[in-house]
Structure 1
Amino acid sequence: MHCHVAGIGAGGSGAFISEQLRHSWKYRIYLKSFGISEDELRQHGDGLVIRRLSEQLAESQLVGAAVVLALDGVVDEQGNLDRARTESYVPNDFVARETAKYANLYFGASVNPYRPDALERLEQARADGAVLIKWLPAIQQIDPADERLIPFYEKLVELDLPLLTHAGDEHSFTRADNSLGDPLKLRLPLDLGVTVIAAHVATSGQQDGQDNMARLLPLFEEYPNLYADISSLTQLNKVRFMRRLQDSGVAAERLLYGTDFPLIRTGLTSPLFSLPQLGWQRTLPLLKVRSAWDQDVRLKLAYGLPAEVFSNAAALLLK
């Protein structure tokens, strides 16, 4: 329930990537992990990214479907899209249109709440089949604790749309305001009854001398409407957090399976990075798994996560 796509505007998608990001070393890695080239995008359009995602997913024996995420941009003081401060923009209508072509893909919308028509955009997203709303606060310049967002949160509750929001620091782009990833900023939407999914269980960075995961974990006892996804927890820089999550006492029904695709195809989640935790006997068979999706599931199962974690997202999002 956590898969990213991107585009360069080919085929009239409306998507774009900033020049700064396109000239970053990360750009070619992302293209390779999507299984495409820039020439192919120009020839076939940005929809090819979503088609390749669906094809790769279809080869999986363990994962039946995925939520594909749009990504709204930064907005200026007038509420208009600020292209100069937006690193990646993936429009809702593009993702809704393309995912509708494939039975194994679902639409995850993104709406910057500072847009003047944000509530109307939420209603349109729901009408187009969105199963959640995605935020990257550090990139989109969204403060989840801003009380001006109360009407937005109330609309999410009315529409029964969960909010999947990045918690913790963000390092996939060239710049970020990581103070906006503070998990304690999620108290406002939680207090208002929003179903909040904290991406990555806040496994990066710190605020006020306390690491973000430590700030998030106590909130699970306080808010029954708080969930977290386990995407990226087997990355090289995060494997230490998997055991910590398991030892935290967070109930399995509050954890949702996610991949943070395309990162599972970059090599960052190689089972070799989990060798110290799993040992050779459990690690070696994982290296032979061809599908990146299946390898990701089997790797997380090898840590001892309950099987229900891998079906919780469907139960929550496809009601």
Structure 2
Amino acid sequence: MILKKIIPAILYLCFAPSALSGETSDLVTGTITVKDSFVDSRIMKFPATVETYDKKQIEESVNAATPAQALKYLPSIQVRERSIGDRNGIISSRTIGSISSAQSMLYADGVLLSNLLGNSFSYPPRWGMVNPEEIQRISMMYGPFSSLYAGNSMGGVINIETRMPERLEAHAGVQSFIQNFKLYGTDQTKIGNREFFSIGNKVNDFSFWASMNRLENTAQPLDFSVANLSSGSTPTEGELAAKPLVTGAYNDKGISNQDRVIFGATAIDTSIQTNGKFKGQYEFLNGSKLAYTIGLWDLDSRQNVQSYIKDNNGNSIMVEM
């Protein structure tokens, strides 16, 4: 029994060198390029799901007019941007809703842009402090798994990294967008526009970036003036004769199938957003960097209403609430 195991082993050792002594040839292959997505070094070691979207991916997939639109194809995240330039763009993810503004955090180059003074749709991040053209990459860390950030990070942390130029470069562009909205008595076509200009350069170890961005747009009505009809509220003929006759209101049913009357459109927001920004950076010999950023974001927002009801002469009737 032992001989049966030893003899095959001896035969293999005898013939193996002769099999390996033949001529060999070098294997020639083409160039192999291995690419990996960049992840912010501060969050890459944390036990959380991290997704990165870089400048090339944004340019190839999104015609971004705002920085919030650059996040469009990141998984499990949505920005409550109801129209282009919506100033109430709240971040929502798989763990938080669209009105929990203080349960996520937005940074740009390490500077907090989230507005943590409240927790509702009225406290959005300051998206206007970043221009789409200067975004180098976006890193999204889905929460709640990190003690690196405050408790507000339970819904996730978005870190926008902007780029600095390697040589002299200048950019200028104009965008235009059009929207038609038709519902009840509203039939409007609104045209918005955006203009931007930026210039940057690197001289030896110092680099700078300066930019201007202006966006103007009018949104569709975000709400309507509504009165629910209760049972037994139908007026008599005498009551109708004693009151002025108005027309133009729309009868409708609410979400609970209750009869209601639509009097007009409200919250028609027209906003003009202007942003000016300057970034300077100096690189030391040991590889460390000193950077300074200053920016100004100005918002001029006005909300209009549209009344559907008119008197006998066709004049719109506005009711102060």
State the TM bucket, normalised to the shorter chain.
under 0.3
Question: TM-score normalized by structure 2?
Answer: 0.22
Which structure carries more relative contact order (alpha carbon 8 Å, separation 6+)?
Answer: 1
Q: In proportion to residue count, which structure has more helix?
A: 1
- Please, what TM-score do these two structures have when normalized by structure 1? 0.22
Q: Higher strand fraction: Structure 1 or Structure 2?
A: 2
